Every structure is written in structure tokens, then in C-alpha cells.
Amino acid sequence: MSTALLLDSLVRTVQVGSLYALMAIGLTLTMAVLRLPNFAHAEFITIGAYAALIFSIYVTANPLAVMLAAFIVAGLIAVLSNRLVFRPLEKLKPSMYTLILASFALGLILRYIVFLVVDRYDLFDKRIDVPVIVWVQNENLILTNIFFWVVAMSVVLVLLFSLLLNYTSLGREMRALADNAMLARVIGVPVQRIHNLTWLLAGGTAGVAGALWGIYTWVNPLVGWLAILSVFAAVVLGGMTSISGAILGAYVVAFAENTVMQGLNQWIGLDFSFKPAIPFVIIIIVLLLRPQGLRRAE
């Protein structure tokens, strides 16, 4: 592999890995605190991307402003989803299979609502119009301000999220609920409030990831769905309920999808059309060889 291709694939690994990490922490949080593998998480990513796109068109394209809009809209949609779907189901004491099917159904409903809105206002394949400024350019590498916004903001938000979980009373209550829900109720943890805040944070971070994805590339109604398998692979690789494990898993998945895939294409001629199979392969290998993942639950 040439130096230019290697550097390009590594840059894409860092960019995509940072986005996957931001998507994965919200999904990991819902799995740890709510015991829910939420497939509707994909649509929170998409809704955040479109909230950011619409905000950039009609208000301002300032990256911080569009990310805030994405967080608020996607977070509120997530809380509303809990109120309308998962909280009523919780009273029926459903099985895990019922909750998974409910999240699939919710995801489909949200996805096709997005399709209707996008079709009505012709918002297919749009990009959040942040001006592109080249910062580094040589014969092997080009870096723009988009790289900074995607990578730096993803890393900052992941760090803030980790600090919230580990050093605040809210984080301690979330971890108590994740460790033992019944005991948390006994000692007075406000369960419904924690659930609502968990949904807000999970949906909000997914929405910000969608906004950053729209800055990095294009926005369409399937943007979250096309990313969710890779995000699940990162979460499984990270141990299902470990935030730090999910972050590490996100970069491993991104490295496999970009640098490893580029190498296989160069060395043995493997077509890039096989790239979507990589998350499946990672999930199967992890479940067979190390089902606890890279990190144990936190």
C-alpha cells in the first residue's frame, strides 16, 4: 500500500472511529441502564442529522449551533419515544425479545416519517454547509477544518460524557441503576427521572453524531441505519455495557472498515463491496471467542 493510501485510510479511520464512538456511547448507556438493545438508536442519529441540516439552512451553519440543535431535537424525540412506547411496555414486564421488536418497530415508524418529510421538502443527499478550509496539504495528505470539527468535537463530547458518568451524582445514580435496579429503587434513586435523562443523553449524543456525520459527508434518511450495525459491532466488541470498551471498539471497527479493507483491496484485490460484511464478521468472532468483549461492564 502506498504512503498516500495508508495515510488517507488512517485519517478516515480516526474520523469515522470518532463518529462511531459518539454513536456507541448512547447505545451502550441504554443497554447498561435500561437493559435495552435499542435499534431505534439509528433513527436518533438520522433525526439529529436532519435537525442540524434544517437549522443550518434556515438559521445558521455555525457548527456549534447546529450540534446543539441536533442534541435538543434528537434528545427530545428519544424521551418522547420512551414516554409513548417503552414506559407503557415496562408496566407489562415484557421479555427482552418484545423490547427488541418494539425498538425495531419504533425505528421503522421514525424512519418513514423522516422519509415523508425529506421527500416533501427535497432534502435527500444534502450536506451541512460548513465552509471547508484546507489546513494541511502535501503530496500524501490533505486535512481540512472538517477533520477538526468531527474528530475534536467527538473526542471532547466523549470525554465530557465519561466525566458526567464518573464524577457527578447523576452518573452515580445511573451506574447504581445499571448495577442493581431493585436495590437502586430501595435506596431512593429516582428511577423515572434517571430513565428520562438516560434517553435524553443517549438520543442527544446520537443526534450530535448525526450532525457531525452531515458535516463530514452527506445526509439522507438512511444515514443512521447504515451506521448502526457498525455501532452495534463496536458495542459488542466493547463488552455491551462498558463505555470505555465501546469507544475502543469504535476505533477498532473503523480501522477494520478503512485501513484493513484498503490493505486487503491492495494486496489480494478484495472488492470494497465486501466492506458492509466487516461488522458482521467482528460480531461473530467476538461472540465466539470473547463474548465478554474487550472490557468488562463498568
pLDDT at 62: 92
pLDDT at 197: 94
| Band (295; pLDDT cuts 50, 70, 90) | low
Amino acid sitting at position 163? L
Contacts of 45 (CB under 8 A, 6+ apart): 23, 74, 206, 207, 209, 210, 213, 223, 224, 227, 228
pLDDT at 250: 95
pLDDT at residue 20 greater than cutoff 70 = yes
Least confident of 98-112, 133-147, 157-171: 133-147
pTM strictly above 0.85: yes
pLDDT at residue 298 greater than cutoff 90 = no
State CA 264 to chain mean position distance.
26
Region 36-43: mean pLDDT is 95
| Band (124; pLDDT cuts 50, 70, 90) | very high
Provide the sign of the torsion angle of the four alpha carbons 172, 175, 180, 181, taken in this order.
Answer: positive
Q: Tens digit of pLDDT for each residue in 216-260? A: 889 999 999 999 999 999 999 998 888 889 999 999 999 999 999
Write the CA distances from 233 to 102, 114, 248, 267, integer angstroms: 21, 25, 11, 25
Amino acid sitting at position 144? T
